[in-house]
Amino acid sequence: MSKRQQKSDYDLLVERCQSVIRVGSKSFSLSAHLFGKEKRDGAFLLYSWCRYCDDEIDKASASETPEQLEQRLASLRELTESSYSSTPMNHPVFAAFQHVVRKYEVPRHYPFELLEGMAMDIRREDYPNLNKLVLYSYRVAGCVGLMMSHVMGVSSDKALQHASDMGIAMQLTNISRDVFEDASMNRVYLPEDWLREEGIPKAAIREACNTPKLVRVVARLLDVADGYYASGDAGLKYLSLRSACTVASARYVYAEIGNRVRSRGIHAWSSRTWVSFPRKLWVMALGVFKVFVTRPFGRRWAPQRIGMVWEHAVMLFSFFVFRSLL
């Protein structure tokens, strides 16, 4: 096969992954345009694997037994493991993933942690407290941030915790937005001890009489998300200017979803909370602006080889500790 043909195959693979992102996450697709081509392609290839795995489990959840879903997950684990071998992958999504993990030296720990997060959904695990919810959020979203750290490049291993925290913040925002939608699928992610404090039975989370109480629980969760966003912001200095702008723009879109959930109050779940396109552009611009005004002028950035694998510790920091990081 000629180099020209190889390049053509690669471009087709990237285009396929890009189309997946446009459908699956318009906000991420929009923010990714701030990357240079190489980083943007890497992000698209990585995201397509994340989206494919998520869809494989989610779309089958309503019609398949837990045993069948476990078999699906086992297949995903096997294909993911094969992506780390020298054998070329025939499946386009896993061929894309194989390219990413080879080129950017993505540790196998992260994708398998993400798949373990999906296993938590299959097992319908309970979330008795915030620690358990943060563990779940780390697995399904924090690990995406950690893998993206390898794609983007960082100037210090210190970036890894902040990358994980940014992903956790975004996942907590998603959970706050999707409370009713998740409950309709018998998934309740809100900490059970918080629900008990408000007198909300898990089975009655969608009942109108509980909505005012639910607003307080979700506001509390969004406060926690704000703390994780603050930690994520503190890690932007370890990224190149373009990568920092990309992450910040996506971060402000997600945070705006949380702001909308807050402002809608008891109506937050009567319809899906979303951010209009003009508003997205505005908050993305705000994110880019904040990167420029907080970045030391004239500081040179150079990527360093990542020398560690970040492993989540079941430990929560207060919002005030996060604030001290800024």
Higher-pLDDT residue of 192, 29:
192
Whether pLDDT at 258 is above 80? yes
Residue 26 is predicted with a pLDDT of 67
Residue 112 is predicted with a pLDDT of 98
- Amino acid letter, residue 145: G
Q: Out of 45, 77, 107, pick the residue that ends a domain.
A: 107
Determine what percent of the chain is predicted with pLDDT higher than 90: 79
pLDDT digits (tens, 9 = 90+) for 128-185: 999 999 999 999 999 999 999 999 999 999 999 999 999 999 999 999 999 999 999 9
pLDDT digits (tens, 9 = 90+) for 231-252: 999 999 999 999 999 999 999 9
Identify whether residues 67 and 130 lie together within a single domain: no
Residue 319 is predicted with a pLDDT of 41
Whether pLDDT at 325 is above 50? no
Determine what percent of the chain is predicted with pLDDT higher than 70: 90
Identify whether residues 85 and 194 lie together within a single domain: no
Which CATH number goes with the domain that contains 291?
A: 1.10.600.10
Identify whether residues 147 and 103 lie together within a single domain: no
Across residues 14-29, what is the average pLDDT? 70
Dist CA 279 CA 285 (whole Å): 10
For the chain, the helix, strand and coil percentages under 3-state DSSP, each to the nearest 5: 75, 0, 25
Phi, psi (deg, nearest 5) at residue 259:
-60, -40
Whether pLDDT at 56 is above 60? yes
pLDDT band at 4 (very low <50, low <70, confident <90, very high): very low
Residue 251 is predicted with a pLDDT of 97
Backbone Cα Rg of the chain: 20
Q: Is residue 121 in a domain?
A: no
| CB-count burial class (<10 Å; 0-12, 13-18, 19+) for 87 | exposed
Render 27-68 in DSSP notation, one character per residue. HHHHHHTTS-HHHHHHHHHHHHHHHHHHHHHHHHHTTS-HHH
Residue 7 is predicted with a pLDDT of 57
- Amino acid letter, residue 98: Q
Higher-pLDDT residue of 27, 105:
105
Three-state DSSP string of 89-130 = CCCHHHHHHHHHHHHHCCCCHHHHHHHHHHHHHHCCCCCCCH
For residue 33, is it left (φ>0), alpha (ψ between -120 and 50) or beta?
alpha
Q: Is residue 177 in a domain?
A: yes
Identify whether residues 140 and 228 lie together within a single domain: yes
Residue 22 is predicted with a pLDDT of 66
Identify whether residues 132 and 275 lie together within a single domain: yes
Higher-pLDDT residue of 286, 64:
286
Number of domains in the chain: 2
- Say if CB 141 and CB 170 are below 8 A apart: yes
Q: Is residue 118 in a domain?
A: no
pLDDT band at 28 (very low <50, low <70, confident <90, very high): confident
Dist CA 215 CA 264 (whole Å): 9
Q: Mapping DSSP to helix (H, G, I), strand (E, B) and coil, where does residue 192 land?
A: helix
Residue 1 is predicted with a pLDDT of 42
Residue 59 is predicted with a pLDDT of 82
Specify which residues 234 forms β-bridges with.
none
Identify the residue whose tokens are 């959930």: 261
Residue 25 is predicted with a pLDDT of 65
> What pTM was computed for the model?
0.91
Q: Which domain holds residue 18?
A: 1-107
User: Virtual CA dihedral for 78, 84, 88, 90, nearest 10 degrees?
Assistant: 40
Whether pLDDT at 318 is above 50? no
Specify which residues 304 forms β-bridges with.
154
Identify whether residues 269 and 136 lie together within a single domain: yes
Identify whether residues 87 and 146 lie together within a single domain: no
Residue 61 is predicted with a pLDDT of 83
Residue 320 is predicted with a pLDDT of 38
Identify whether residues 133 and 191 lie together within a single domain: yes
Identify whether residues 77 and 203 lie together within a single domain: no
Across residues 30-43, what is the average pLDDT? 90
- Say if CB 295 and CB 244 are below 8 A apart: yes
Six token digits for residue 183: 């409950």
User: Virtual CA dihedral for 32, 34, 38, 43, nearest 10 degrees?
Assistant: -20
Dist CA 30 CA 22 (whole Å): 8
Dist CA 227 CA 89 (whole Å): 40
Dist CA 277 CA 269 (whole Å): 20
Nearest Cα residue to 109 out of 149, 60, 69, 71: 149
Whether pLDDT at 322 is above 80? no
Residue 32 is predicted with a pLDDT of 86
pLDDT band at 8 (very low <50, low <70, confident <90, very high): low
